[in-house]
Amino acid sequence: MPYSPLLVKPMRDELTAIGVQELLSAEEVDSFMNQKEGTSFLIVNSVCGCAAGMARPAIRVALENGTRPDRTASVFAGQDLEATAQVRSYMAQIPPSSPSMALFKDGELVFFVPRHRIEGRDAEAVAKDLTDAFEANC
Amino acid sequence: MGTFHQNKGELHGITVVVETHGPEVFVGRCDTVTPQGVILLDGDRHSDGDDGRSKEEYLRQAAQFGVWKKYDRLMVPTAEVVSIRRLSELGA
C-alpha cells in the first residue's frame, strides 16, 4: 500500500527545493528523456530511510557544488507508478532499484548509482561519487 | 528525512550477500538475522553455473547494478551461512 502523500511530500520537497523537476507521468518522462543533447540526471526518489534519507542530501550537496548536469528530474517510486515504470524502461537492462540515480550523456547511460551504493554511507560520500561523475561527464 | 523501521539489527534494510557452504549465494535486502537464519526480502538466489555464470561473475554483476528480485522473501538457514556482508563491500 503506498505511503500517504502527506508523508511523502517533504521527501519530494527536498528535491524540488533545489531545482529538481518532478516527472509525474509517462509523457513527462518521455519529454525529459527526449532531450538528448547534453547531460540529464534522473533520480528515482524513495521513502526508504535506509538509503533515500542519505540520497537526497547527497544530491543537494552535489548539485550545489560546481559542475552540474544540464537537466535534473525525479520520479517517486511507489507513488508515481506510471512515471517510475517509464523511467525504468529507459534502463531496461538494470534491475529496478529505489532510490537510484542515473546520468545520461547525449541519451546514453554513463553513470548509475543503485540503492546498495547508497545504503549505510553518509551523504558526503555519496555526494563525492556524484560530483566525480558530473565532473567527468558534464 | 527518513522513514520508520523497527529495531531489527544493523543490517536491517541493507542489501547483503549471504555466502553458504554450498554452491549457492543469496542477495537481498536483509530483514532480520535470527537464530534460525537470515531473512532476506526482495532477493535472488544463484547457484554456481546457473545461467552459464559462475558465482563470482554473478556477484560482480550484482555489485555493479544490483539483482533482479525473484523472491519476495528468502530464509537462509543459519547452518548453511558462511558469511553475511553488504553488497556494497564488493567492488563494482
Express each pLDDT in A8-30 by its tens digit.
999 999 999 999 999 999 999 99
- Residue A116 to residue B87, Cβ atoms within 8 A: yes
Chain B residues lying within 8 Å of A53, measured CB to CB: 1-3
- The three-state secondary structure class of B80 is helix
- Residue A49 to residue B67, Cβ atoms within 8 A: no
- Residue B14 to residue A119, Cβ atoms within 8 A: yes
Q: Is the pLDDT assigned to residue B6 strictly greater than 70?
A: no
Q: What is the pTM assigned to this prediction?
A: 0.89
- The three-state secondary structure class of B30 is strand
Asked whether the ipTM of the predicted complex exceeds the cut of 0.90, the reply is no
- The three-state secondary structure class of A35 is coil
Give residue B1's pLDDT band: very low, low, confident or very high (50, 70, 90): very low
- Residue A53 to residue B2, Cβ atoms within 8 A: yes
- When the candidates are 3.40.30.10, 3.30.390.30, 3.60.10.10, 3.30.465.10, the CATH number that belongs to A5-137 is 3.40.30.10
Chain B residues lying within 8 Å of A96, measured CB to CB: 69
What's the rounded Cα separation, in Å, for the pair A103 and B17?
26
Q: Is the pLDDT assigned to residue B33 strictly greater than 70?
A: yes
Minimum CA–CA partner of A95 in chain B: B68
**Phi, psi (5° rounding) for residue A131?**
-60, -40
Domain extent listing, chain A: 5-137
Q: Beta strands A39-45 and A71-76: pairing type? A: parallel
Top CATH class, B16-90: mainly beta
The residues pairing with A113 across neighbouring beta strands, listed in sequence order, are A101
Active site residue ranges of A = 48, 50
- The DSSP 8-state label assigned to residue B90 in this structure reads S
- List, for residues A48-84, the tens digit of each pLDDT value: 766 767 899 999 999 998 899 999 999 999 999 999 9
Note whether B14 contacts A: Cβ–Cβ < 8 A: yes
What pLDDT is recorded for position A46?
Answer: 93
